[in-house]
Amino acid sequence: MLYREAGQFRSSYAEDQRIFPILQDRIAFGVLLVAAFAIVPLVANQYWLAAILTPFLVFSLAALGLNILTGYAGQLSLGTAAFMAVGAFMAYNFELRVSGMPILVSFALAGLCAAAVGVVFGLPSLRIKGFYLAVATLACQFFVLWALQRFGWFSNYSASGVITAGKIEIAGYLFESPAEKYLLTLAIVSAMALAAKNLVRSETGRAFMAVRDMDVAASVIGIPLMRTKLLAFAVSSFYCGVAGALYAYCYLGTVEPEAFNLDLSFRVLFMIIIGGVGSILGSFLGAAFVVLLPIFLNVLFGALSHFVGIEIPHAWLSNIELILFGALIVFFLIVEPHGLARLWQIGKEKLRLWPFPY
Amino acid sequence: MSAGFFLEVVLGGLLAGVMYALVAIGFVLIYKASGVFNFAQGAMVFFAALTFVSLEKAGMNFWLALLVTLAVMVVLGMATERFVLRPLVNQPPITLFMATIGLTFVLEGLSQLVWGSQPHGLELGIEDVPMKWLAEKSGIHVSQFELFAAVVAGVLVAVLALFFQYTRIGRALRAVADDHQAALAVGIPLKHIWAIVWAVAGFVALVAGLMWGARNGVQYALTFIALKALPVLLIGGFESVLGAIVGGLIIGASEKVAEVFLPQLLGPPLAAWLGVPVNLQGIESWFAYVVALLFLLVRPEGLFGEKIIDRV
């Protein structure tokens, strides 16, 4: 009843090309934005802001980056964490070595550095595809971590390779509390998500999808393969790089190269698979799922031992969590291989007719 | 640097490469027969080794423990086919790949939940010491254990080759590997074949687990050797057992040579150029991948992989 598009006419091209052509969607999204920017920082407590919402946003951005590469351009990559590491460590170095560098500029430069690394390790994609490429991107993962650990310059010669992010100051204003950091992350992620949404609707995005669907056919219709593939790697690594910088600055504060190991790459890959490959919304849904699942399981087991009275040893708990996580991934892939974004779409279709059967 | 030392390093590398190949063969079997890139192979190696060690610790003798573990791996293979692969028939390869990562988590959690997570030692009765008569005769030190592993790998490949070539099931496996639909059309039961392939991969994982477990101890780090086996696959091609062996040899030798000689060779000039001390230790963590990438630039499908034909 509420979600009906009858009577909404589009009379200009601008109206037709809106991101949300349906009025109800626009209202809902506006409400969501207002809630995220204005209400959440007031209502949520420190734990929620610092340990759940901020990492959710950071991972969403990383998932967005990987989704552009894997979901839209069809190049499977297992090097996401490496690009994030480049972003985090370069942002740190720009702040450290260039005095008076504005933090947003160093985030952007860190993203560009990650993009450069992405282009270099994207070069094999011109020759190899599919799983061969996925394994090749592992080279990036291992090489970058090794370089960060071996060359002291990256971590300013700290003994253990750990970097501590400096203060975040924009135009004289200091971002210190979890709420402020959350707002900064949210602002950056929103802006970049908007850019990504528009990118994939543009000619470039369509070129990505043509390459994904069949690269030989794409080159036959005149899409320059090399430029498109490398651009996809560059854009994707830029997103991951900025996500890495935010990971270091807004979420953890202190990071070591080991934090960006292969596990993190897989986690981001899970996010886009569970959320939906080739969907902007899916990146966010997937990140929410992967961030919230361990917390949910913890709460569940806590409640279980509280009410049933079964005390589960801690060593078991982490293993049970591992099993459940793996099983849930398999379960999700079987039930809805197109991810949460597809479920959302199906739900919306149903809602258009509700409460009538047809 | 004497020629003898160089030879020793290369030989050691070649034998270590055989150990990588043992893991890579498991990948190849499954990829060949079902087109699934089975990331869980490393977890299967860990699972098999841990199960075997724990059974042996519980008082079983060697052969009984081996049999029981084999049975467990076969059941595991069949369960994988039933609960993971069958519901995912006709999904794109990336989905199946992700499912095997999920399976990795399940296996890692399960094995540690059941058997505990403390590391175990594993004794196969062959010590990891240089061969005596070879060392006395030529002065080259080659580990007795690695030679044994190489022999085991050779026997394994021979057995697999015979199995594939001369048994009814082997022929069915090759047919399925060639073309799923055509195989189905001539009446080969795909379900059974997949279960068998996963069971065979479980058996290979058991052999690899025993070898690696005896060498490095049975511990969680065993799951990471799958990552060492991936460059081997890149070089050899995903579809070729022979490629896995050759790739393993190439990777093993070049990695060992790089590990021993590159830091000394490249370190000082690089340090002079950069003006800071350079430490190139740990180069082996990525060197194999770079070697594999160089091979791929020349042959994108690996040395023995199926030729990639693009059709629009």
CA-derived radius of gyration, chain A: 21
C-alpha distances (whole Å) from B57 to each of B67, B88, B223 are 15, 38, 21
CATH number among 1.20.1280, 1.10.3470, 3.30.70, 1.20.120, domain A44-353: 1.10.3470
Mean pLDDT (chain A) is 89
Strand A163-164, strand A254-255: pairing: antiparallel
| Residue whose token pair is 């985090």 | A88
For the residues A247-275, what does the mean pLDDT come to?
90
Helices A262-275 & A314-335 angle (0-180, nearest 10): 40
Residues of chain A positioned with their CB less than 8 A from the CB of B278 = 150-151
Å from B16 to nearest chain A CA? 20
Tell me the pLDDT band of B277, cut-offs 50, 70 and 90. low
Tell me the pLDDT band of B139, cut-offs 50, 70 and 90. low
Interchain pair B234, A266: CB under 8 A: no
Interchain pair A136, B289: CB under 8 A: yes
User: In sequence order, which residues have a C-beta less than 8 Å from that of residue B254 and are 6 or more positions away?
Assistant: B13, B287, B288, B291
Residues of chain A positioned with their CB less than 8 A from the CB of B113 = 316, 319-320, 323
Interchain pair B98, A139: CB under 8 A: no
Interchain pair A323, B105: CB under 8 A: yes
For the residues B268-284, what does the mean pLDDT come to?
73
pLDDT digits (tens, 9 = 90+) for B158-177: 888 888 888 888 888 888 87
CA-derived radius of gyration, chain B: 21
Q: What percent of chain A has pLDDT over 90?
A: 42
pLDDT value at B134 more than 90: no
For the residues A175-186, what does the mean pLDDT come to?
90
pLDDT digits (tens, 9 = 90+) for A270-320: 899 889 888 999 999 999 998 998 888 888 878 877 777 766 677 777 788
Å from A24 to nearest chain B CA? 34
Interchain pair A337, B83: CB under 8 A: no
Asked whether the beta carbons of A20 and A29 are under 8 A apart, the reply is yes
Phi, psi of B120 (to 5 degrees): -120, 155
Using CA coordinates, name the residue in chain A closest to B271.
A151
Domain ranges of chain A: 44-353
pLDDT value at A345 more than 80: yes
Q: Which of A233, A237, A199, A209 is nearest to A74 (CA)?
A: A209
The predicted pLDDT at position A241 comes to: 96
Residues 124-183 of A with CB under 8 A from B: 124, 127-132, 134-136, 138-139, 142-143, 145-146, 149-153
Instruction: Decide if B110 touches A, using CB distance below 8 A.
Output: yes
The predicted pLDDT at position A287 comes to: 95
Which range of A106-120, B95-109, B137-151 scores highest in mean pLDDT? It is A106-120
The predicted pLDDT at position A166 comes to: 79
User: Which of B113, B293, B308 lies at the smallest CB-CB distance from A124?
Assistant: B293
Residues 218-247 of B with CB under 8 A from A: 227, 230-231, 233-234, 238
| A316's tokens | 């078991």
Phi and psi based region of residue A7 (left: phi greater than 0; alpha: psi -120 to 50; beta: remaining):
left
The predicted pLDDT at position B312 comes to: 65
Residues 239-298 of B with CB under 8 A from A: 276, 278-283, 285-286, 289-290, 292-293, 296-297
What ipTM is given for this predicted complex? Answer: 0.83
Å from B32 to nearest chain A CA? 13
Asked whether the beta carbons of B120 and B57 are under 8 A apart, the reply is yes
Interchain pair B310, A216: CB under 8 A: yes
Instruction: Decide if B308 touches A, using CB distance below 8 A.
Output: yes
Half-sphere exposure for A246 (CA within 13 Å, toward CB): 32
Gap between the Cα atoms of B28 and A75, Å rounded: 22
pLDDT digits (tens, 9 = 90+) for B197-223: 888 889 999 999 888 888 888 888 888
For the residues A16-43, what does the mean pLDDT come to?
89
User: Which of A131, A326, A337 lies at the smallest CB-CB distance from B91?
Assistant: A337
The predicted pLDDT at position B137 comes to: 66
Residues of chain B positioned with their CB less than 8 A from the CB of A321 = 109
pLDDT value at B138 more than 70: no
Helices A314-335 & A280-307 angle (0-180, nearest 10): 140
Higher pLDDT, B226 or A89: A89
Gap between the Cα atoms of B105 and B40, Å rounded: 8
User: Which of B87, B101, B302 lies at the smallest CB-CB distance from A266?
Assistant: B101
Gap between the Cα atoms of A8 and A15, Å rounded: 11
Interchain pair B106, A323: CB under 8 A: yes
Q: Is A243 helix (H, G, I), strand (E, B) or coil?
A: helix
Asked whether the beta carbons of A274 and A290 are under 8 A apart, the reply is yes
Interchain pair A139, B293: CB under 8 A: yes
| A101's tokens | 């560098």
Helices A130-150 & B225-236 angle (0-180, nearest 10): 130
Distance of alpha carbon B93 from the chain centroid: 21
> How many contacts (CB atoms, under 8 Å) link A and B?
140
Interchain pair A216, B231: CB under 8 A: no
Q: What percent of chain B has pLDDT over 90?
A: 11
Which range of A190-199, A330-339, B121-130 scores highest in mean pLDDT? It is A190-199
User: Which of A153, A328, A333 lies at the smallest CB-CB distance from B95?
Assistant: A333
Residues 23-62 of A with CB under 8 A from B: none
Tell me the pLDDT band of B15, cut-offs 50, 70 and 90. confident
Report pTM: 0.89
Tell me the pLDDT band of A201, cut-offs 50, 70 and 90. very high
Asked whether the beta carbons of B105 and A325 are under 8 A apart, the reply is yes
The predicted pLDDT at position B136 comes to: 67
Asked whether the beta carbons of A161 and A257 are under 8 A apart, the reply is yes
Gap between the Cα atoms of B131 and A140, Å rounded: 38
| A228's tokens | 């498109």
Higher pLDDT, B115 or A247: A247
Helices A103-122 & A80-97 angle (0-180, nearest 10): 140
pLDDT value at B182 more than 80: yes
Q: Is B218 helix (H, G, I), strand (E, B) or coil?
A: strand
User: Residues of A89-105 as b/e, b for ≥16 C-beta within 10 angstroms?
Assistant: bbbbbbbeeeeeeebbe
pLDDT value at A122 more than 60: yes
Q: What percent of chain B has pLDDT over 70?
A: 92
Asked whether the beta carbons of B99 and B80 are under 8 A apart, the reply is no
Phi and psi based region of residue A156 (left: phi greater than 0; alpha: psi -120 to 50; beta: remaining):
left
Helices B190-216 & B62-80 angle (0-180, nearest 10): 140
Higher pLDDT, A166 or A235: A235
For the residues B125-142, what does the mean pLDDT come to?
68
